Amino acid sequence: MKTRSIERTRLVPHTINGKTEMVLDRYTIDAPVPPRDWDRIVLAAVTACAGLLVTASVIWSTASIGDLLALVVIAAAAYGAAIVFDLLWIMCMALEWLARYDPPRARLPRLAGHASLAVAMVAVAAHGWLAGQEVIGVVGAAVSGIAKGGWTVVMRHHAKPLDALTQQWVEKQRAEVGGRLAMVTITRELTRHEALVDAERLALRTNPDADPDASAQATDDPDEDAEPARKGPMTIADAVRTAADCGIHDPDAVLRYVRKVADANVKPETVQRYIRALRKGA
């Protein structure tokens, strides 16, 4: 039996001058080497070969379809479009691989991959037909089919379908987690919209054009006719001073103006105090 040396560590007591400390001791052991897992090695090699087949197919079909499209467009655009034919069915194979434990979800990528592969094979065959090499066109088209077939066989070996009960459990768990994930996005969207609504309300509340009373003129009170337009949040002192500058001297009219532009709950005594202070300062 083959063995291999493995280094291990352990804490051991070590005493010097009567003082003991736990120190790290390193030692090696001989552990048996497990036998090679030839099944895994073979499967990895087959998977790598399938990847090489796909790579060779992409190179061949891109060159063939690119040369076909280059008859009507510049070469750079032609070969750029040609690679799309193979990338599509390769992308579908990748999605099928991700859903290898879920046959219902893997069905759509599988069908889409077969359809896109058929289109790519027809394009390669058309290139050979236009070049007068029908046999080469058919053989070239078969390259993509062989690559796709090889990868499909490997994928079937990797796939581990779930039983019906387990599949239902997985679907319920997926739906629950998907719902929570969707609510994250929905909550973020609602929060953003609420912020926009709050910003709009604030803008309408502080915008002088949004207040119809700011431009309307009262006919029964001359002091209200001279009331200035509201320009934004104001302090009580600023409101009293603004009213005086606009010729509003009636205490009740000043009080109404201060409550409108500064503080809706201001007391009459406070306004009177500011009025007296303003008159003394004048």
Terminal-residue alpha carbon distance, the chain? 109
The last residue of one of the domains, among 158, 177, 204, is 158
Structural domain contains residue 120: yes
Domain shared by 20 and 125, yes or no: no
Q: Specify whether 45 is located in the same domain as 133.
A: yes
Q: Is 57 found in the same domain as 24?
A: no
**CA torsion through residues 236, 238, 241, 242, sign:** negative
The first and second tokens of residue 136, run together, are 């080469």
Residue 4 in tokens = 């291999």
Length of the chain: 282
Q: Same domain, yes or no, for 147 and 253?
A: no
Whether residue 151 lies inside any domain: the answer is yes
- Structural domain contains residue 125: yes
The answer on 58 and 18 residing in a single domain is no
Please list, in sequence order, all residues whose beta carbon lies within 8 angstroms of the beta carbon of residue 140, skipping any fewer than 6 positions away.
60, 61, 64, 124, 125, 127, 128
For residue 5, the SS3 value is strand
Strand-pair partners of 8? 27
Long-range Cβ contact pairs of 38-45 (< 8 A, separation 24 or more): 43/157, 43/158
Q: Which domain holds residue 251?
A: 217-281
pLDDT of 51-84, one tens digit each?
A: 888 888 888 888 888 888 888 888 889 888 888 8
- Low-confidence spans in the chain with pLDDT less than 50: 207-227, 229-231
What's residue 214's pLDDT? 43
128 and 24 co-located in one domain: no
At which of 158, 187, 206 does a domain end? 158
- Cβ(248)–Cβ(254) below 8 Å: yes
pLDDT of residue 201: 77
Judgement on whether residues 52 and 146 belong to the same structural domain of the protein: yes
Q: Is residue 228 part of a domain?
A: yes
Same domain, 106 and 10: no
Q: Does residue 67 share a domain with residue 105?
A: yes
Output the CA angle 94-97-98, nearest 5 degrees.
90
Task: Please give the Cα distance from 210 to 121 (Å, whole number).
Answer: 67
> Of 132, 158, 184, which one is at a domain's C-terminal end?
158
Do 19 and 61 lie in one domain? The reply is no
Q: Answer whether residue 80 is part of any domain.
A: yes
Residues above pLDDT 90, as percent of the chain:
5
**CB 55, CB 83: distance < 8 Å:** no
Residue 241 neighbours by CB distance under 10 Å: 16
Name the pTM for this structure: 0.50
In a domain, 193, yes or no: no
Q: Is residue 133 part of a domain?
A: yes
Structure-token pair, residue 154: 């490997």
CB 6 within 8 A of CB 29: yes
Determine the pLDDT at residue 219: 44
Shared-domain flag, residues 59 and 91: yes
> Kindly report the CA angle at 63 between 62 and 67, in degrees rounded to 5?
110
Predicted pLDDT of residue 224:
45
Instruction: Please tell me the total count of domains within the chain.
Output: 3
Does residue 234 belong to any structural domain of this protein?
Answer: yes
Q: Residues 48, 149: one domain? A: yes
